[in-house]
Copies of this chain bind each other. A is one copy, B any other.
Amino acid sequence: MTDSITITRPDDWHLHLRDGDMLRAVLPETARHFGRAIIMPNLVPPVVTGDQAAAYRDRILAALPDGMTFEPLMTLYLTEDTDPADVAAAHASGLVKAVKLYPAGATTNSASGVTDFDKVRPVLEKMADIGLPLCTHGEVTDHDIDIFDREAVFIDRVLDPIRRATPGLRVVMEHITTKNAADYVRSQDSDLGATITTHHLIINRNHILVGGIKPHYYCLPVAKREEHRLALRAAATSGDQRFFLGTDSAPHTDPNKLSACGCAGCFTATNTMALLAHVFEADNALDKLEGFASRHGPAFYGLAENDARITLTKHASPVAFPDKIDTPDGPVTVFDPGFDVYWTVA
């Protein structure tokens, strides 16, 4: 039995940190294990300009506890009014590492997102020119499209047309949840990557809906049927460089989760690396964990890997994680995988 592995310190290529009190409460959960993270810009109001991203980066760094090292990789929220020159300047300065496309209304704080994709074409062409990746929330929002079809329809109606119309644009299909998405990524060239969350490797839609409705397992894109979860497991553990970790860890307080209209998001920052060790071990792929969590992401983004290393240790008995993170806004429930976990990170 392998009882410990040491790997390059991982990065999280999709993370929600929010702002203010919540930022201060949850940032250590990520910074404890991860060297860097792509920081989602869906604040209220969203992070749209280079100046706003710089200010947000400063707030994140100011919230970092003494003794922790962590580099926020900033993104801009793409709107129909986004200025290509501002995007290019924010990229040239080294501040901004990606631009995020939210179809309007797709998820939490996405009201400022894109409705008319033609309006963002000049930005996308500029990004292709300068090598700045586009991160996508890959769901259409049409009322008449079933929620479980929205990712597959996005590929056909939005993502594939954008990629054909914008040669050279690097795109990350974020938090993929379907075999359709994994297959599409595999069928394309190295300009397309995909992140996979920890929770989508663990739950399928039965976890949300069998025997009671479980808001803590609800995120968007919503978990699909089991065959899709298995396809994500196969992609994550395959060693294919186009698949890498993006937790989409999102801190919503319990009152906001357990309501008549509960917020979308799972909070996995606290136990992601332990859960991934469990998942990769279960699939006899512990040797692929470093690639997925620590190497494929930097390669896609053209960044160096972290110098630091972490050690994951498997214990003889199950280990405990906090059920909740207390924040001034209220408790945030930590994702419960529903099975015993034996791994810790040092």
Contacts and interface: CB of A to CB of B under 8 A. Distances in A.
Contacts of A148: 205, 225
Contact of A105 (B144, B209, B211, B216): B211
A10 to B, nearest CB: 29
Q: Choose among A212, A215, A258 the residue with the greatest number of B CB atoms under 10 Å from its CB.
A: A212
Interface string A193-218: 00000000000111011111111101
Identical copies in the complex = 2
A218 B260 CA distance: 11
A213 B261 contact: yes
B206 A264 contact: no
Contacts of A222: 209
Contacts of A143: 206
A206 B147 contact: yes
Contacts of A264: 212-213
A259 interface: yes
A226 interface: yes
A264 B144 CA distance: 25
| 8 shortest interchain CB distances as A-B pairs | A212-B261, A213-B262, A213-B218, A146-B225, A147-B209, A258-B258, A213-B215, A147-B206
30 contacts: A105-B211, A143-B206, A146-B204, A146-B206, A146-B225, A146-B226, A147-B205, A147-B206, A147-B209, A148-B225, A209-B218, A209-B222, A212-B263, A212-B264, A213-B213, A213-B215, A213-B218, A213-B261, A213-B262, A213-B264, A214-B260, A214-B261, A215-B215, A215-B260, A215-B262, A258-B258, A258-B259, A258-B260, A258-B262, A260-B333
Given A147-B205, A147-B206, A213-B213, 17 more contacts: A143-B206, A146-B204, A146-B226, A148-B205, A211-B261, A212-B261, A212-B264, A213-B262, A213-B264, A214-B260, A214-B261, A214-B262, A215-B215, A215-B262, A258-B259, A258-B260, A260-B333
